[in-house]
């Protein structure tokens, strides 16, 4: 795999080192957790150890997508549950949790049991719900947040607004506020129109990127460089905004800017399209382990 290391200055604050014994297992579970106001969110947690890894899926994806992998002998087939998937692999070396955001769909096509909310939804909505469900379930901080695609917007906002609770960050072909800067105005406008046209009548998740970009820009900067890895797809894919040209170059440029801002290791040779988590789960798990180990060893 190809690694590009971003140059960064000395951290402005320190993070206490974490040992593997700081958190013992509270047992694996997969259930709906009440978070107040008549709402509940489905949460699955496995394994033991600290920091706790929190997996945040892309648009419409439920927690079970982290337990799926593509068969390397039949890459055209649908992802299937696999012991080599990200969630079970990470559970072998630390505590790991994944949740269903409202309006997401599980791998078997069923809607998530998480209470539906009005759509569209912003990164702050996602961050607020994630804080609430982890607290309600009694999951111990600090966290390493892993965000895929739209989920990276939520992960980035959490890292900026909850910095004492976040020990590390991994983005998996993640979206960021830099997309608005790198896409042409026509591409950005066309993409926003595509998202606005998504059917939210039945409560399906619709991300509000425009508002979320403003939320991220308004959030405080992280007070220190966190242990971080940015994974970027290298098989071209496109947002398919008609009549505006390929969005692939802008996607790559936004990934570069994100890695530089985070002072992150940037893995660019992923041999994957947008779905790195299911196409290359071992690569994602290895990146998570690197960040977990770095957080544990940080003075």
Query: In CATH, what number is assigned to the domain containing residue 81?
Result: 3.40.50.1820
- Sequence-distant (6+) residues with CB within 8 A of 72 are none
8 A C-beta contact, residue 254 and residue 239: no
Number of domains in the chain: 1
| pLDDT value of residue 200 | 67
> Using CB atoms within 10 A of its CB, is residue 257 exposed (0-12), middle (13-18) or buried (19+)?
middle
| pLDDT value of residue 26 | 59
8 A C-beta contact, residue 179 and residue 160: no
8 A C-beta contact, residue 86 and residue 55: yes
Q: What's the N-to-C CA distance of the chain in angstroms?
A: 28
Task: List residues bridging with 267 in a β-sheet.
Answer: 3, 231
| pLDDT value of residue 8 | 67
Query: How many other C-beta atoms lie within 10 A of the C-beta of residue 93?
Result: 17
Alpha-carbon distance of 261 to 226, in angstroms, equals 11
| pLDDT value of residue 192 | 95
| pLDDT value of residue 22 | 41
Print pLDDT tens along the chain (299 aa). Answer: 454 444 465 443 333 445 444 443 458 999 999 999 999 999 999 999 999 999 999 999 999 999 999 988 887 888 999 999 999 999 999 999 999 999 999 999 999 999 999 999 999 999 999 999 999 999 999 999 999 999 999 999 999 999 889 999 999 999 999 999 999 999 999 999 999 888 767 789 999 999 999 999 999 988 788 999 999 999 999 999 988 999 999 999 999 999 999 999 999 999 999 999 999 999 999 999 999 999 999 87
| pLDDT value of residue 10 | 43
Token pair for residue 193?
A: 């129109």
7-38 pLDDT, tens digit per residue, is: 465 443 333 445 444 443 458 999 999 999 99
| pLDDT value of residue 15 | 39
| pLDDT value of residue 14 | 38
| pLDDT value of residue 158 | 96
241-250 pLDDT, tens digit per residue, is: 988 999 999 9
What residues make up the domain containing 176? 3-297
146-165 pLDDT, tens digit per residue, is: 999 999 999 999 999 998 89
Task: List residues bridging with 53 in a β-sheet.
Answer: 96, 144
């Amino acid at each position: 795999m190809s690694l590009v290391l971003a140059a960064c200055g000395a951290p402005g604050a320190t993070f206490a080192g974490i040992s593997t014994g700081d958190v013992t297992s509270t047992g694996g579970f997969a259930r709906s957790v009440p978070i107040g106001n008549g709402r509940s969110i489905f949460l699955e947690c496995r394994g033991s150890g600290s920091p706790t890894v929190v997996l945040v899926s892309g648009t419409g994806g439920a927690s079970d997508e982290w337990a799926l992998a593509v068969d390397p002998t039949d890459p055209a087939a649908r992802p299937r549950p696999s012991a080599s998937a990200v969630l079970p692999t990470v559970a072998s070396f630390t505590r790991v949790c994944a949740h269903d955001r409202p309006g997401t769909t599980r791998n078997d096509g069923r809607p998530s049991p998480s209470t539906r909310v009005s759509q569209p939804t912003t990164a702050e909505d996602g961050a607020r719900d994630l804080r609430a469900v982890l607290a309600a379930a009694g999951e111990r901080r600090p966290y390493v947040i892993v965000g895929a695609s739209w989920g990276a917007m939520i992960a980035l906002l959490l890292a900026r607004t909850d910095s004492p609770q976040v020990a590390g960050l991994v983005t998996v072909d993640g979206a960021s506020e830099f997309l608005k800067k790198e896409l042409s105005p026509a591409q950005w406008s066309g993409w926003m129109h595509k998202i606005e046209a998504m059917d939210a009548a039945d409560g399906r998740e619709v991300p509000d990127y425009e508002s979320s970009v403003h939320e991220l820009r308004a959030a405080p900067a992280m007070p220190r460089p966190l242990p971080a890895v940015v994974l970027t797809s290298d098989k071209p894919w496109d947002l398919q905004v008609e009549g505006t040209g390929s969005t692939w170059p802008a996607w790559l440029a936004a990934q570069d800017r994100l890695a530089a801002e985070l002072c992150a290791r940037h893995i660019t040779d992923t041999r994957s399209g947008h779905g790195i988590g299911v196409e290359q789960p071992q690569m994602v798990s290895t990146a998570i382990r690197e960040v977990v180990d770095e957080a544990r060893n940080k003075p």
